[in-house]
Amino acid sequence: MVWILLAAAILCEVTATLSLRLVDGFTRVGPTLVVVAGYVASFYLLAQVIRHGLPLAVVYTIWAGVGVLVIALFSAAFLGEGLTRLQIAGAALVLIGAAIVKLAT
């Protein structure tokens, strides 16, 4: 159950972050509401995950690492933002680091 909550928190954060492209300086109400709701939901879910016993370091590392990776891949695949080899290597290192933090607990 706790891992489902963490996945939902990541999904909310990714949705909010990707929606930032649409807010136009927070002048567009709909996308702005998606951003705010996404971040509020994400932090609420993160709090629930931590409450259920996963260590903060593990939760935050996985949340941030997977979020960065998903946003980078989505942006490259669907938004026309290319990824250099160095950026791909950096994203891979973030994911590897998250895995190491998890395995070390």
Q: For residue range 30-41, list pLDDT tens digits in order.
A: 999 999 999 999
Report pLDDT for 57.
86
Separation of alpha carbons 39 and 31, rounded Å: 12
Cβ-contact 98, 66 below 8 angstroms: yes
- Mean pLDDT to the nearest integer, 11-29: 95
- Report the percent of the chain where pLDDT is more than 90: 57
The number of domains in the chain is 1
Is the pLDDT at 44 greater than 80, yes or no?
A: yes
Cβ-contact 35, 64 below 8 angstroms: no
- Report the percent of the chain where pLDDT is more than 70: 100
- Mean pLDDT to the nearest integer, 60-87: 89
Residue-number span of the structural domain to which 70 is assigned: 2-103
Separation of alpha carbons 77 and 65, rounded Å: 18
Which residue in 1, 2, 13 sits closest to 59, CA to CA? 2
Nearest 10 degrees: Cα torsion 56, 61, 62, 63: 80
- Mean pLDDT to the nearest integer, 74-91: 89
Report pLDDT for 103.
84
